[in-house]
Amino acid sequence: MAITLNNGFRMPAVGLGVWRMEGKEIRDLIINAINIGYRHFDCAADYKNEAEVGEALAGAFSTGLVKREDLFITTKLWNSDHGHVVEACKDSLKKLRLDYLDLYLVHFPVATKHTGVGATASALDEDGVLEIDTTVSLETTWHAMEELVSMGLVRSIGISNYDIFLTRDCLVYSKVKPAVNQIETHPYFQRDSLVKFCQKHGICVTAHTPLGGAAANSELFGSVSCLDDPVLKNLAEKYKKTVAQVVLRWGIQRNTVVIPKTSKLERLNENFQVFDFELTKEEMDLIKKVDRKHRTNQPAKFWGIDLYA
């Protein structure tokens, strides 16, 4: 199952996010994912594992496990490289061992102090607050992203963590419209207005943290997981599915792309088994009522500043 983007390219509805994965773990995971049926992998320069992902992909291509044209590979421009878009993209391509990207995203709508192409550091001032670069506008960054399409380095470009206002501005100044806005959205943080705004204007929404971060974000940010919600547990019991599968199915039926992260082979398989059942309209409406407007991913913990305030 795939969603057709506003430029005609097709994006698989379920992908594998590779945040907080490293070394041999990620290489084995990607090969196992391909064997299960995954064709969409979501990466980022800031995840600091593009080289390991590239090694796994090169192995998959060389053994004939899969062809490059059968995969959809996303990576992201880090904040400190907003003034060096082309160089940063080429650095990611080199690490991933690819000739082109299917999708390149502006990871966050903020330019920060440059620390070297691909270095992905978040420079802080003496007060421990993120060093924001006030000389590079988001419009300038976007026009550099558009150059990547002209150069043939990237098929689609998009945004990430943009709200309605920033998304609207991007639509105004763009020559190449953003194909995707990747945002945190899950049953406890549904963001229905933003999702509908993007879809109305031809922008596909990808849900990062589609399971609410589960144990990882609870540990890192002290957030609450929707996987313990009684409404979702009851639906899982009805369909003889896991709560995670119900949540992913809900995301797919909203016409969003979901990119759950897991390092466990059992979960990897489970997260892909979401196409053999369908939630009713009444059940979708029921899930709408569990929204808590609860953001689980909180980069302010690392940056000393709340960019969402």
* SS3 assignment for 203-269: CEEEEECCCCCHHHHHHHHCCCCHHHCHHHHHHHHHHCCCHHHHHHHHHHHCCCEECCCCCCHHHHH
47 catalytically annotated: yes
In contact, 267 and 243? CB cutoff 8 Å: no
At residue 124, what are phi and psi to the nearest 5 degrees? -115, 150
At residue 20, what are phi and psi to the nearest 5 degrees? 60, 35
In contact, 148 and 85? CB cutoff 8 Å: yes
Within 13 Å of residue 171, how many CA atoms lie on the same side as its CB? 18
CA distance from start to end of the chain: 36
| Residue in 38, 47, 104, 162 annotated catalytic | 47
Active site residues per annotation: 47
